[in-house]
Amino acid sequence: MTDTNPTSGSASSPSLENLLHETRSFPPSEEFAAQANAKADLYEKASADRLGFWAEQARELVTWNKPFTETLDWSGAPVARWFADGTLNAAYNAVDRHVEAGHGDRVAIHFEGEPGDTRTVTYADLQQEVSRAANALTALGVRTGDRVVIYLPMLVESVVAMLACARIGAPHSVVFGGFSADALRSRIADAEATLVVTADGGYRRGAPSALKPAVDEALAPKEGAPATSVQKVLVVRRTEQDVDWVEGRDVWWHEALEAADPVHEPVAVEAEHPLFILYTSGTTGKPKGILHTTGGYITQAAYTHKNVFDLKPETDVYWCTADVGWVTGHSYVVYGPLVNGATQVLYEGTPDTPHRGRWWELIEKYKVSILYTAPTAIRTCMKWGDDIPGGFDLSSLRVLGSVGEPINPEAWMWYRRVIGGDKTPIVDTWWQTETGAIMISPLPGVTATKPGSAQVAIPGIAATVVDDEAKPVPDGGGGYLVLSEPWPSMLRGIWGDLERYKDTYWSRFDGLYFAGDGAKKDEDGDIWLLGRVDDVMNVSGHRLSTTEIESALVSNEIVAEAAVVGAADETTGQAVVAFVILRGSHANRASTAEGAAEVQKELRDHVGKEIGPIAKPKKILVVPELPKTRSGKIMRRLLRDVAEDRAVGDATTLADSSVMDLITAGLAAPT
């Protein structure tokens, strides 16, 4: 870890100064409070008997095949077991039981493709399709416990594929479609997946964008890489692009489903049976396979979805704009909403295709009442101007949510005023891939919200801010965000690497889960998140590792050394800025503007190929040296100063204190 000073103001975060001056507060209206699912007594109930409270949620919100008798087993800490002697099926909970309860005709998904094609999927339709897909997977040899990688655009089939896996107890690992073939290969290998579900392509910014070629490349034999464990590839036809076909391996999704029986008995699994693995970036070059299990995860996903968004399944139309490739898509597109029997919108494309009002048009069209999105999207829409959302009827909205990074008060206020008609509560929800579900958030009918603050741990969750010595800071103080009690949807480890799990989250402070975020408590004890304190960046709400991008850069033959920082960016929160030292014979290439542009392009493309387009550095600066401490650690804090055009801070711990002058002089010189 480098800069561990949580109050130094990480690039993406609103500065401490600004936040200290933020005093606006918006209590819920009386009408909203009166009809809310969650009232103030929820906090009291949860704190009076925390485990009893969670057991009650699990019994109320989830249907069990075999009821559990034990709530939490923490004897194997830090690996928790929740509701461990119960059995259940997540897909049954998300689909079948709603049909059995007479809600088969309720719309589960209003699908809207980017080109404007639509599809309405009821819970009864979903039951048939998920059952067919489960039978198809079984026919293709997938057994309970086998891992299935899903590499798809945002389609109904993405949801169906995930639920089909859950139905047979085969953990899914969804890989975001924006990741490269190499990234896909390493995830498939780490999970030892036996089947991949993909599509010919998806629509993005008005054009078909191919996906299958990346799967073909990821599965092709590669020197030095072990042979792939994948036996079958199921291919959804979406764009009708030409695809290469491997006989005996590749199978069309529509053909497999047509041939399959629409009836399937869900497999009851133990509560601790793995539901999914989701890879996320850590502080090292190797992505971590975050492991989530079944019972605790769906309990907390459903509980938070019901209480934080105030979901009324009979009347609300809910829309979470996240891709299923991220944890937000897992918990708040698939499991939370469907377990709660919600009606939701699923949109394939980008917010500005074919025009910048597309999102608002969809809200008007489907009368969306709950919208959950990310600060980066809010800031982008804010930049496009008020008149764009102003041209649509957004009066159906009653709750707005934010997730993924700290939301600056200005964007929060814009969201409330322009999108929320100055009346909707905003829930700023803090959580992580690792936490599985929302942990810190206002409750919309209870909390007087403050622009820019996630505020309070939800009922049942214990979060606090501690100093370097693990002591809770007083109100007004800053430090590190920690979670002090196990929670139902917590990760159960890192796939195949228990030691790394202990090391990463449990070694910094004894007995406390270290989230990696800096935070402060205001005078009311409310929590304000200040951004990451480790080598993890947050670009447009996507988590990227500085180390991972650095290794991608140095794997290019022209690079000798690289250092990557997340620099503050008005729209994306942070942007990737790379400092590179070129190898001997290439060192001069950047001495002309043309040469520098060429090097930039070459390296950006290289990172795109190694990790994916989302990781491409916004800026690449060629430098003669990198600032290092005597022990050889790169001082990213100083590079961040350069990247953000600030005076360079205290450089006295550098091995060679003239290095920063060398760097800044070189950058100032005309190239």
Peptide bond into 354 cis (omega under 30): yes
Sign of torsion over alpha carbons 341, 346, 351, 355: negative
Percent helix, strand, coil in the chain, to 5, is 35, 25, 45
Candidate residues 543, 616, 636, 640; the one interacting with ligand WT7 per rule CB under 6 A = 543
Helices (H) and strands (E) in the chain, counts: 23, 30
Annotate each residue in 222-241 with x if it binds ligand WT7 (CB under 6 A) or - if it does not, as one string. --------------------
What's the maximum distance between 2 C-alpha atoms anywhere in the chain? 73
Nearer Cβ to ligand WT7, position 201 or 406?
Answer: 406
206 marked among binding-site residues: yes
Stretch that binds ligand WT7, among 236-244, 495-503, 512-520, 627-635 (CB under 6 A): 512-520
Nearer Cβ to ligand WT7, position 232 or 543?
Answer: 543
Spatial neighbors of 223 by CB under 8 A, at least 6 apart, are: none
Determine how many CB atoms are found less than 10 A away from the CB of residue 240: 9
- Kindly state the smallest distance separating residue 572's Cβ from ligand WT7, in Å: 13
- Kindly state the smallest distance separating residue 362's Cβ from ligand WT7, in Å: 21
The answer to whether residues 616 and 548 touch, using CB atoms and an 8 Å cutoff, is no
Spatial neighbors of 232 by CB under 8 A, at least 6 apart, are: 140, 141, 194, 195, 196, 249, 250, 251
3-state secondary structure 435-504: CCCCCECCCCCCCCECCCCCECECCCCCEEEECCCCCECCCCCEEEEEECCCCCCCCCEECCCHHHHHHH
Annotate each residue in 398-437 with x if it binds ligand WT7 (CB under 6 A) or - if it does not, as one string. -----xxxx---------------------xxxxxx----
- Kindly state the smallest distance separating residue 44's Cβ from ligand WT7, in Å: 25
Within 278-297, the residues that bind ligand WT7 by CB under 6 A are 280
Candidate residues 156, 196, 214, 529; the one interacting with ligand WT7 per rule CB under 6 A = 529
559 marked among binding-site residues: yes
Nearer Cβ to ligand WT7, position 114 or 517?
Answer: 517
In angstroms, the CA 303 to CA 299 distance is 6
C-alpha 629, offset from chain centre: 33
Annotate each residue in 297-336 with x if it binds ligand WT7 (CB under 6 A) or - if it does not, as one string. ------------------------------xx--------
- Kindly state the smallest distance separating residue 549's Cβ from ligand WT7, in Å: 15
Question: What residue type is assigned to position 529 of the chain?
Answer: L
194 marked among binding-site residues: no
Nearer Cβ to ligand WT7, position 273 or 532?
Answer: 532
Nearer Cβ to ligand WT7, position 177 or 627?
Answer: 177
- Kindly state the smallest distance separating residue 524's Cβ from ligand WT7, in Å: 18
132 marked among binding-site residues: no
Q: Among 515, 546, 520, which Cα is nearest to 532's?
A: 515
- Kindly state the smallest distance separating residue 172's Cβ from ligand WT7, in Å: 17
The answer to whether residues 94 and 350 touch, using CB atoms and an 8 Å cutoff, is no
48, 307, 446, 489 from 43: Cα distances, Å: 9, 12, 10, 19
- Kindly state the smallest distance separating residue 429's Cβ from ligand WT7, in Å: 5
- Kindly state the smallest distance separating residue 178's Cβ from ligand WT7, in Å: 13
In angstroms, the CA 122 to CA 407 distance is 35
In angstroms, the CA 34 to CA 18 distance is 34
Annotate each residue in 440-469 with x if it binds ligand WT7 (CB under 6 A) or - if it does not, as one string. --------------x---------------
157, 342, 577, 641 from 646: Cα distances, Å: 48, 48, 14, 5
In angstroms, the CA 388 to CA 206 distance is 20
- Kindly state the smallest distance separating residue 290's Cβ from ligand WT7, in Å: 8
Question: What residue type is assigned to position 308 of the chain?
Answer: V
Candidate residues 194, 538, 574, 600; the one interacting with ligand WT7 per rule CB under 6 A = 538
Nearer Cβ to ligand WT7, position 271 or 440?
Answer: 440
Spatial neighbors of 510 by CB under 8 A, at least 6 apart, are: 470
- Kindly state the smallest distance separating residue 431's Cβ from ligand WT7, in Å: 4
Nearer Cβ to ligand WT7, position 272 or 405?
Answer: 405
- Kindly state the smallest distance separating residue 373's Cβ from ligand WT7, in Å: 11
Nearer Cβ to ligand WT7, position 359 or 430?
Answer: 430
525 marked among binding-site residues: no
Residues that contact ligand WT7, how many (by CB under 6 A): 22
C-alpha 251, offset from chain centre: 30
- State in Å, rounded, how far the first CA of the chain is from the last one: 34
- Kindly state the smallest distance separating residue 401's Cβ from ligand WT7, in Å: 9
- Label residue 384 exposed, middle or buried (CB < 10 Å: 0-12, 13-18, 19+): middle
Candidate residues 515, 603, 635, 659; the one interacting with ligand WT7 per rule CB under 6 A = 515
Annotate each residue in 375-404 with x if it binds ligand WT7 (CB under 6 A) or - if it does not, as one string. ----------------------------xx
Stretch that binds ligand WT7, among 139-147, 256-264, 381-389, 510-518 (CB under 6 A): 510-518
* Annotated binding-site ranges for CoA: 204-207, 328, 540
* Annotated binding-site ranges for ATP: 404-406, 428-433, 517, 532, 543
* Annotated binding-site ranges for Mg(2+): 554, 559
* Annotated binding-site ranges: 204-207, 328, 404-406, 428-433, 517, 532, 540, 543, 554, 559
Binding site for ligand WT7 (CB under 6 A): 280, 327-328, 403-406, 428-433, 454, 515-517, 529, 532, 538, 541, 543
